[in-house]
Structure 1
Amino acid sequence: MFGLEISSVPTILPTLETVLHANFQQLQWIMNAYTIAVTTVLMATGTLADRYGRKRVFVVSIAVFGLASLICGLAQDALVLIVSRFLQGMSGGAMLICQVAVLSHQFQEGPERARAFAAWGIIFGIGLGFGPIIGAAIVAASGWQWVFLIHAFIAVVTIALAVTGVRESRDPEAKHLDIGGIVTLSTSVFCVAFYITEGRSFGFTGTTGLAIIGTAVLSFMAFVLVELRSAHPMFDFSVFRIRAFSGALLGSAGMNFSFWSFMIYLPIFFRNALGYDNVAAGLALLTYTLPTLVIPPLGERILLRFGGGIAIPLGLFVIGFGFMLMWAGSGVERVTWLTLAPGCLLAGVGLALTNTPVTNVTTSAVSSTRAGMASGIDMSARMISLAINIALMGFILIAGISSRLSSAFPGALDASRLQYLADRIAGGTGHVADIPELSILPGADAAVRDALIHGFRLVMLYGGLSVWIMALASFVIARGSHARQRQSRSGNEPCCVPRSST
């Protein structure tokens, strides 16, 4: 359910532009409302699941996810969809945290645990890998609403499986819910995402912009103080002293500096820059997602053989290499999905090599009774970096389009008009024939397409370079843990991911 939700919705964004009359910022918020909502519940869910039972909270979250999906499918305008997506994100985040905590409790030994998380990665990959074509096929056959409504039916089956197959578990030392931490962290993340996404409209350096970013900084400072002073914090900073955990956490963030955030924009590239319809765009997107279906077992094998200090940076490096190939493939004279396919495939392989090892390491690096807290920190890192980078990639895309239009038509358009046109072009509604000031200019069609491709190439370059930086940081931080693992293997001790006791 969670994988299908991630990969099918981006495919229908171009359709939502038309049927809901959504602009580019609203398309960003349709995705970001979900990711920001996930961050608001991650740490709370870990605490509640540890205290009241992971199975119980898991079943409730599935039910709410199904209900929220029903509301999304019935939405009639972009604002209602954005609000309902927030509810869907809250329940989806709770659902994801609980399933990771459940797996961590039921499968605690090295090889068995590796097989369990490899299976989890494959099932996640089924939803993720086939999501684009499923979403496109649903739109073609019955309408965009069923991309959401289908989850209401899947939720019923999933609840039945959870009730019969999951053993109840809890943390006997779990304490009260950390309301202060939840509010301050959520406020900070929302303000940063809002500042990046909407900053062009109110001015990044204006009074409103400075007030928003100031609120974000103060909220984050308050969050740190609340957690440090709390006797039972939801965000236990002491776990960052575990090098394996910190290195894996950089892997969580690195995937969302690149692969997951670009997942939102790649369907728009296929539709608006290459002119593909929904089905063709969905098929093209399979090259990006299908590797996540078959590669996870290899990622777990690499983890068992070399440890997280090698496996996770390696996966991040492969993602970055894929992005650089996409950047190169989009710079040829005639760009098609075939010129991007090698990079898309490699990025998907890198994601599959990284995703399940990250989850495995972050939850196994601490005691099993704190699995809810550890998975909450892991998913918080993922969703916070995703929310910020969805906004940041959108900003880079618009800036790239605007700068290329300015170079193509020097002096023909003022800054505010360039900004407006860049938004429309990025959202797919900026057809040259509908823009009088462009339609009279020679070569406008070619210039608009060139500007769109240029903007996307900047986004690809950003994704590749940023994930390489995260790979290097993860390797440097986790290298001490890797050395300890090699010493353990040389002493004939079991080769497994180190826990905090090591």
Structure 2
Amino acid sequence: MLLYPSNKNIIALAAICLSALMFGLEISSVPVILPTLEKILHGNLKDMQWIMNAYTIASTTVLMAVGTLADRFGRRRIFIISLALFGITSLICGLAQSSTILIISRFLQGVGAGAMLICQIAILSYQFKEGKERSKAFGAWGIVFGIGLGFGPIIGGMIMAVSNWHWVFLVHVPLTILTLLFVLGSIQESSDPQAKKLDIIGIVTLSCTVFGLAYFITQGPELGFTSIAAISILIATVSCFIIFLFAEKLSPHPMFHFSVFRIRNFSGALFGSVGMNFSFWPFMIYLPIYFQSGLGYSTVAAGLSLLAYTLPTLVFPPLAERLSLRYQPGIVIPSGLFMIGTGFILMKFGSGMDHASWLTMLPGSLLAGIGLGLTNTPVTNTTTGSVPSTRAGMASGIDTSARLISLAINIAVMGFILQESILSYLKRVLPGTDDVTQLRALAEKIAAGNTSLHQNFPELTSLDASGTVVHTALVNGFGWVMLYGGIGVWVLAAISFIIFAPKKSLLQK
């Protein structure tokens, strides 16, 4: 049966939206099952961090490279390859029997996911005519992408309730097959004969910088921050970043053209990208641990509790667009960031109450979600709309890279703060335990959500028979993480506002 162009476009849009849904789900559904993975795979907090970070770092690694490869060799072809890689690695993730295998397969899954993301945007831009048709296509893509991110926690929780953790990954196998069938029957091939050369040095050095920094923060406590190994990693990371800066400055076809940072609106919006991923999205990794281990909720109940955190991100973008037109992004973006920070401070107070529950966390969760909903769309539109059209693709790539790099680094930082604050609390309230190595192992277990530790640490039976110390240590640790998230975003909101503000208006004030 022959398909008319309009029918082909509908199927093409369905393929793009399905792949966007899968990308979003793999970010937001996996955190809900991390406490389960920690127990079943006998992992620790670092393993759980790497299960998430492997995906985000890999996605960041391929973003800029795939855009060039897709332009040169064909966007449809690269999209099919990325889908196949994503489906195969999702199968391996679902069958993994150890944390190590899961981390490696998550990295490869992230490569496929990052490639999918870039191809989605390129295909939509080519397949749909400029104007209403393209606007509607991008609108549908954005909504489905948001659904994947927003409903991921409850979808992950429900899959756990009716089956097991394996299907949080395995569900993508049939979805990938369906998407591939749609792609083969609808998407047109497109390429750019004038495609620029691949910036290999820039890609490798930026990827090594992000990985090195995340590794230093995550493994630092175990290695010892002043150890030769840790210092060597830090020196290598800084060296890679310096080489990256020189490579981009000297390259005739750089990934990042630093001249765009001189544009106030671009730089101000970029701080919005960093701000959203400084606290809101990395905390998605840890919030399920708080709901399940701190409050004792089931996986489904934790997923439902997370809806207050994620759903506002879907509801408020249309309002954000109207506000941007009326008050300018320079007001809306910093205001949204300030709301995210305020939400985190409210969550800190809610988590510290005597009878803490999802209700005491509700005001902060809602406010943080509303803040992100007000920030996300204006940031995307401002970064791409404030540069010349010839550099819109680069601006979009820098924006996406800033988000994923901030996410990867702050997953590591939040885990470090959580573990160290728990360790600090245990040292204060368990003076009878002098073995710091043992206390650190205990703190790591608590941070990963394992509060039933009396068998592994018999001394706790006499010191903390009721488990109060362990529970309080976990809540105390989360309080510090929320404080970090709140104050950090406030600082970024202030920087964004200052950058957006014209020099003249600042001098007049």
Q: Same fold (TM over 0.5)?
A: yes
Which sits farther off after the overlay, 360-369 or 162-171? Answer: 162-171
Alignment pair present for 1:252 and 2:270: no
Match of 1:461 among 483, 490, 500: 483
Deviation at 1:167, TM superposition (A): 6.1
Code of the residue aligned with 2:295 in structure 1: it is: L
Deviation at 1:398, TM superposition (A): 0.6
> For residues 268 and 349 of structure 1, what CA distance do their matches in structure 2 show?
22
Deviation at 1:422, TM superposition (A): 0.2
> For residues 283 and 190 of structure 2, what CA distance do their matches in structure 1 show?
36
* Equivalence map 1:235-384=2 (5 Å): 235-384=256-405
Report if aligned partners of 1:105, 1:368 keep a CA contact under 8 Å in 2: no
Report if aligned partners of 2:433, 2:439 keep a CA contact under 8 Å in 1: no
Runs of 5+ in structure 1 lacking a partner? 484-502
Alignment pair present for 1:407 and 2:428: yes
> For residues 166 and 138 of structure 2, what CA distance do their matches in structure 1 show?
32
Report if aligned partners of 1:47, 1:373 keep a CA contact under 8 Å in 2: no
> For residues 388 and 181 of structure 2, what CA distance do their matches in structure 1 show?
29
> For residues 37 and 497 of structure 2, what CA distance do their matches in structure 1 show?
41
Deviation at 1:171, TM superposition (A): 4.9
> For residues 41 and 205 of structure 1, what CA distance do their matches in structure 2 show?
32
Report if aligned partners of 1:184, 1:220 keep a CA contact under 8 Å in 2: yes
Alignment pair present for 1:127 and 2:148: yes
- The 1:463–1:102 alpha-carbon spacing in structure 2 relative to 1, beyond 3 Å, is farther
> For residues 66 and 307 of structure 1, what CA distance do their matches in structure 2 show?
42
Ranked by relative contact order (alpha carbons within 8 Å, sequence separation 6 or more), the top structure is 1
Match of 2:246 among 217, 221, 225: 225
Code of the residue aligned with 1:71 in structure 2: it is: I
Report if aligned partners of 1:308, 1:482 keep a CA contact under 8 Å in 2: no
- The 1:158–1:297 alpha-carbon spacing in structure 2 relative to 1, beyond 3 Å, is farther
Report if aligned partners of 1:50, 1:372 keep a CA contact under 8 Å in 2: no
Number of matched pairs: 483
Alignment pair present for 1:470 and 2:497: no
Match of 1:22 among 40, 43, 47: 43
Match of 2:157 among 119, 136, 139: 136
Code of the residue aligned with 1:76 in structure 2: it is: Q
- The 1:228–1:208 alpha-carbon spacing in structure 2 relative to 1, beyond 3 Å, is same
> For residues 171 and 306 of structure 1, what CA distance do their matches in structure 2 show?
38
Match of 2:81 among 60, 74, 96: 60
The answer for the alignment partner of 1:499 in structure 2 is none
- The 1:476–1:168 alpha-carbon spacing in structure 2 relative to 1, beyond 3 Å, is farther
> For residues 69 and 497 of structure 2, what CA distance do their matches in structure 1 show?
33
Alignment pair present for 1:47 and 2:68: yes
- The 1:157–1:371 alpha-carbon spacing in structure 2 relative to 1, beyond 3 Å, is farther
> For residues 130 and 87 of structure 2, what CA distance do their matches in structure 1 show?
33
Report if aligned partners of 1:203, 1:209 keep a CA contact under 8 Å in 2: yes
- The 1:248–1:211 alpha-carbon spacing in structure 2 relative to 1, beyond 3 Å, is same
Report if aligned partners of 1:320, 1:467 keep a CA contact under 8 Å in 2: yes
Code of the residue aligned with 2:102 in structure 1: it is: L
> For residues 104 and 333 of structure 1, what CA distance do their matches in structure 2 show?
53
* Equivalence map 1:71-86=2 (5 Å): 71-86=92-107
Report if aligned partners of 1:271, 1:278 keep a CA contact under 8 Å in 2: yes
* Equivalence map 1:170-185=2 (5 Å): 170-171=191-192, 173-185=194-206
RMSD (Å), alpha carbons: 2.4
Identity over aligned pairs, percent: 61
> For residues 130 and 375 of structure 2, what CA distance do their matches in structure 1 show?
20
Report if aligned partners of 1:253, 1:382 keep a CA contact under 8 Å in 2: yes
Alignment pair present for 1:88 and 2:109: yes
Deviation at 1:368, TM superposition (A): 4.1
Report if aligned partners of 1:43, 1:234 keep a CA contact under 8 Å in 2: yes
Match of 2:468 among 429, 446, 449: 446
TM-score (norm 1): 0.90
Runs of 5+ in structure 2 lacking a partner? 1-21
Code of the residue aligned with 1:312 in structure 2: it is: I
Report if aligned partners of 2:35, 2:450 keep a CA contact under 8 Å in 1: no
* Cα deviation 1:66-86 (Å, max 9, x = unaligned): 222122112111111100000
> For residues 337 and 137 of structure 2, what CA distance do their matches in structure 1 show?
22
> For residues 287 and 87 of structure 1, what CA distance do their matches in structure 2 show?
31
TM-score (norm 2): 0.89
- The 1:74–1:40 alpha-carbon spacing in structure 2 relative to 1, beyond 3 Å, is same
